[in-house]
Amino acid sequence: MAKPNRRDIFKMGAAAGATAIAASARAAAQPAAAPPADDSWSNALGPGVDSRPYGRPSRFEKDVVRRYVPWLSPTRDADASFTPLQDQPGIITSNGLFFERYHAGRPTIDPDRYRLMISGLVRKPLLLTLDQLMRFPSVSRIHFIECPANGATEWPAAQLNSLQLTHGMVGCALWTGVKLSTLLDEVGLLPEAKWLLASGSDGAHMDRSLPLEKCLDDCIVAYGQNGEAIRPEQGYPVRLVVPGWQGNVNIKWLRQLQLGKTPWITREETSEYSELLPSGKALGFTWVMDAKSVITFPCPEKPLTGGPGFYEIRGLAWSGRGRIKQVDVSLDGGVNYRRAKLDEPVLSKCLTRFTLPWRWDGKPALIQSRVTDETGYVQPTIAQKHKFWGNDPVYENNSIQTWQILASGAVNNVQIS
Ligand SMILES: Nc1nc2c(c(=O)[nH]1)N[C@H]1C(S)=C(S)[C@@H](COP(=O)(O)O)O[C@H]1N2
Ligand SMILES: [Mo]
């Protein structure tokens, strides 16, 4: 298909046909006869730098906020919120919109009193202040963090008619900090050290065991998030970033790294974050987040409002195993697929943006995206997932999402079995 230019886009809308919707779209798409007159904002001196020492989005963006599902959060303060992916234009999640997950709420940590302890099977245990941590050689990397419970409500059926609430427990940021391997080099690992326990200083003292191989690979003890200090929501002043692995091992408000011989098998590794399989056995340490993709436009929150004609289908794909190789988009519920275009940059363990030009004929459609990552892993259908996980799982729902487009342009969350 030739790349439509701007005029083609309008023409397609205008040529599209006879329905009432098409007629209103045609009206909306008519080029204006004259340029707009100066509005009030063009005739006044606006406020200057002093009025806003810390910037905020335009007040017209006030509905772009994190949201939560009341029945999933029975306590007064919701313990999980979701990123509004439908309003995220690129691969970076704004700090104010990054999803939150709290096991015991959000502590307020005084950076002057912050300490990071590295202990256990090491030659030289260390107790670091924040200033001392920041003196180490540093790196900056863009990675997503996703809670494995993202999409949990959608295991039994399509339940929540929302992109934000079905897929928004993921965010992607530029994390800056010290490579964990650098710190482990400093303390000197004893030969018996094979595992690391990372724990937080929140009321939950959330702690997870990590195999040394991953710790020495790409983990970051991070203090920066998208060009400023890590937000309190994300672990101020320091969090562990474990690229591509389950959100819950990315310990926030990090206070201790302990080296040992074997995994600790903490509460977070038994009563939580393990999954009962149909065989009756529980599967633990399912760290890697398998590849997932979703169409972010159109979606339930962003219907097709312009009638038939040209639209750009847009979406996000990510994999805990590495880079995205390809994304295929279906317009007919998974019968036929077209290859989408991947937007640069395509980075490892990072959100990747994809687009596909689409001329909507105004008829109902079932749109889906399916990602393949660089290891060849292909995003499964929900039926394929149920085969392995059984009928009542909680975690790891990375199945293909179907959005149903109605003739009105409205979009619904549906499940195709
Ligand atoms: N100390 C601590 N770390 C934590 C948590 C927590 O409750 N306490 N929640 C974990 C869970 S379950 C997830 S999914 C991620 C969420 O990261 P975010 O809140 O920055 O989005 O943080 C993890 N790290
Ligand atoms: Mo989580």
Least confident of 34-38, 172-176, 304-308: 34-38
**Ligand 1 pocket: which of 68, 72, 103 to mutate (most atoms within 8 A of CB):** 103
**Ligand 1 pocket by Cβ (under 6 Å):** 98-103, 145, 147, 171, 200, 202, 204, 206, 233-234, 247-248, 250-253
**pLDDT score, position 13:** 43
Per-chain mean pLDDT for the chain = 91
**pLDDT score, position 368:** 98
Mean pLDDT of 165-181: 98
Domain 64-283 in CATH 3.40.50.11900: no
Task: With a cut of 80, say whether residue 6 has pLDDT above it.
Answer: no
Mean pLDDT of 329-337: 98
Q: Where residue 408 falls among pLDDT bands split at 50, 70, 90?
A: very high
Proximal ligand: closest to the CA of 175: 1
Q: Which atom of ligand 1 is nearest to the CA of 148?
A: 14
Proximal ligand: closest to the CA of 268: 1
SS (H, E, C) the chain: CCCCCHHHHHHHHHHCCCCHHHHHHHHHHCCCCCCCCCCHHHHCCCCCHHHCCCCCCCHHHCCCCCECCHHHCCCCCCCEEECCHHHCCCCCCCHHHCCEECCCCCCCCCHHHCCEEEEECECCCEEECHHHHHCCCCEEEEEEEECCCCCHHHCCCCCCCCHHHHHCCEEEEEEEEEEHHHHHHHHCECCCCCEEEEEECCCCCCEEEEEHHHHHHCCEEEEEECCEECCHHHCCCCEEECCCECHHHCCCCEEEEEEECCCCCCHHHCCCCCEECCCCCEECCCCECCCEEEEEECECCECCCCCCEEEEEEEEEECCCCCEEEEEEECECCCCCEECEECCCCCCCCCEEEEEEEEECCCCEEEEEEEEECCCCECCCHHHHHHHHCCCCCCCCCCCCEEEECCCCCEEEECCC
User: Which of the two residues, 48 and 85, has the higher pLDDT score?
Assistant: 85
Question: With a threshold of 0.85, does the pTM exceed it?
Answer: yes
Ligand 2 center–CA 105 separation, angstroms: 13
Q: Which atom of ligand 1 is nearest to the CA of 234?
A: 20
**pLDDT score, position 63:** 98
Mean pLDDT of 301-312: 97
Mean pLDDT of 288-313: 98
- pLDDT digit string, tens, across residues 197-232: 999 999 999 999 999 999 999 999 999 999 999 999
Which residue has its alpha carbon closest to ligand 1 atom 20?
Answer: 234
Task: With a cut of 90, say whether residue 35 has pLDDT above it.
Answer: no
Q: Where residue 67 falls among pLDDT bands split at 50, 70, 90?
A: very high
- pLDDT digit string, tens, across residues 10-22: 554 444 333 444 4
- pLDDT digit string, tens, across residues 337-354: 999 999 999 999 999 999
**pLDDT score, position 2:** 45
Task: With a cut of 50, say whether residue 309 has pLDDT above it.
Answer: yes
Q: Which atom of ligand 1 is nearest to the CA of 254?
A: 1
Task: With a cut of 90, say whether residue 39 has pLDDT above it.
Answer: no
User: Which of the two residues, 270 and 243, has the higher pLDDT score?
Assistant: 243
Match domain 292-414 to its CATH number in 2.60.40.650, 3.20.20.70, 3.40.50.2300, 3.40.50.300: 2.60.40.650
For the chain, the structural domain boundaries read: 64-283, 292-414
Q: Which atom of ligand 1 is nearest to the CA of 147?
A: 14
Task: With a cut of 70, say whether residue 252 has pLDDT above it.
Answer: yes
Ligand 2 center–CA 205 separation, angstroms: 14
**pLDDT score, position 150:** 97
Ligand 1 center–CA 78 separation, angstroms: 13
**Ligand 1 pocket: which of 83, 93, 99, 206 to mutate (most atoms within 8 A of CB):** 206
**pLDDT score, position 198:** 98
